[in-house]
Amino acid sequence: MSARVLLIALLVCVTATGRAAADDLTTIRLWNIGGQAGMTLASAAIQRKLHGWRDVVRCLTSGSVSGLGIYESKVLVGKNHPRTGWILANVAGSLSENASAGRHPLAQIGYTLGPVRFRVSMPHLDPASTSRIAVDASVYQTVAFVLAVNESGAPGFRDGLIAFQRDLRPDDDHLGATAGVFPAVFVDEQVVWLHEFTHAVQSFQIEVAEPPSPWRRMQFNRDPPGGKRLIVFEQVKIGMFNFANSAYVAARPYFERWPEVEAFRLTEGVNTWR
């Protein structure tokens, strides 16, 4: 069952990304829908949450809706509504996150702030939860934060994200850079900010369905002695989907990298200044 499901997940992703180099919006939309559905299904298989074809359909459906919602969030970012886009991305991403973990698609609504994700349990939809608020941490995003600080200096807060801004240096190859969900800009142009913000949404999208670490020492979701607790630190995610994507993207020419193709296409024509 698991082998067949992983094969299906791979085929869904390949089908969606077969023309990933194309820059038309239909292709980008289909990539988001199919790619998110495939990642959701693969994560559920890894977490052993698939007990029949009904679960497969549930993951594919929830993942597809989640992917469409995250695509629309990037469209909002490209239309100069980054804060609204980030909120929509977090809500839409929660569908994929819940489905891959075997929960009701709306059981928990999460919000990512830097390397930490907060998941709020929805009454009547999440009876198995041990807390009202669950907190996760990401190894990948923690590494990304360290890299961003090293490259761009002191962090700030902008449009719902921990972000960076510094002056352009003579040796800079780009006007901005994003590590994980930490965008940095080196010029005061809004289009650069929106471009880098789109990269942050992409990193979030890849990681939201990530299964927790397989090592029990990195899992802290023990049953409470009685009743639900208010807030619990539950798990650490490695970020293996993001690590794998980073390795793949780094091996591609710059203008053929899917994050750049998508970000340039969705933010083209933006001429607003901060």
Instruction: Tell me the C-alpha distance between 175 and 12, whole Å.
Output: 35
Structural domain range at position 205: 2-267
pTM: 0.88
Confidence at residue 219, expressed as pLDDT on a 0 to 100 scale: 58
pLDDT band at 20 (very low <50, low <70, confident <90, very high): very low
Tell me if 274 is assigned to some domain.
Answer: no
Closest CA to 44 of 209, 241, 230, 220: 209
Find the range with the poorest average confidence among 17-26, 138-147, 211-220, 248-257: 17-26
DSSP state of 187: S
Say what angle helices 190-208 and 139-152 make with each other, to 10 degrees: 160
pLDDT band at 128 (very low <50, low <70, confident <90, very high): confident
Instruction: Please give the mean pLDDT across all residues of the chain.
Output: 88
Q: Is the pLDDT of residue 83 over 60?
A: yes
Q: Is the pLDDT of residue 167 over 80?
A: yes
Confidence at residue 217, expressed as pLDDT on a 0 to 100 scale: 58
Q: What mean pLDDT is predicted for residues 21-47?
A: 89
The domain tally of the chain equals: 1
Q: What mean pLDDT is predicted for residues 230-249?
A: 93
Confidence at residue 101, expressed as pLDDT on a 0 to 100 scale: 93
Give the tens place of pLDDT for each residue, 41-72.
999 999 999 999 999 999 999 999 999 999 99
Confidence at residue 9, expressed as pLDDT on a 0 to 100 scale: 46
3-state SS assignment for residue 130: coil
Q: Is the pLDDT of residue 271 over 90?
A: no
Confidence at residue 273, expressed as pLDDT on a 0 to 100 scale: 41
Q: In what order do the strands lie in the sheet with 161-165?
A: 156-158, 161-165, 182-185, 176-179
Confidence at residue 24, expressed as pLDDT on a 0 to 100 scale: 85
Q: Is the pLDDT of residue 99 over 60?
A: yes
Tell me if 273 is assigned to some domain.
Answer: no
pLDDT band at 265 (very low <50, low <70, confident <90, very high): very high
- The helix (run of H) or strand (run of E) holding residue 62 is helix 53-78
Q: Is the pLDDT of residue 218 over 70?
A: no
Tell me if 136 is assigned to some domain.
Answer: yes
Tell me if 142 is assigned to some domain.
Answer: yes
Confidence at residue 65, expressed as pLDDT on a 0 to 100 scale: 97
Q: Is the pLDDT of residue 199 over 90?
A: yes
Confidence at residue 212, expressed as pLDDT on a 0 to 100 scale: 86
Say if residues 60 and 21 touch (Cβ distance below 8 Å).
Answer: no
Confidence at residue 226, expressed as pLDDT on a 0 to 100 scale: 61
Rg (CA), the chain: 18
Q: Is the pLDDT of residue 215 over 90?
A: no
Tell me if 254 is assigned to some domain.
Answer: yes
Q: What mean pLDDT is predicted for residues 156-161?
A: 96
Instruction: Tell me the C-alpha distance between 274 and 272, whole Å.
Output: 7
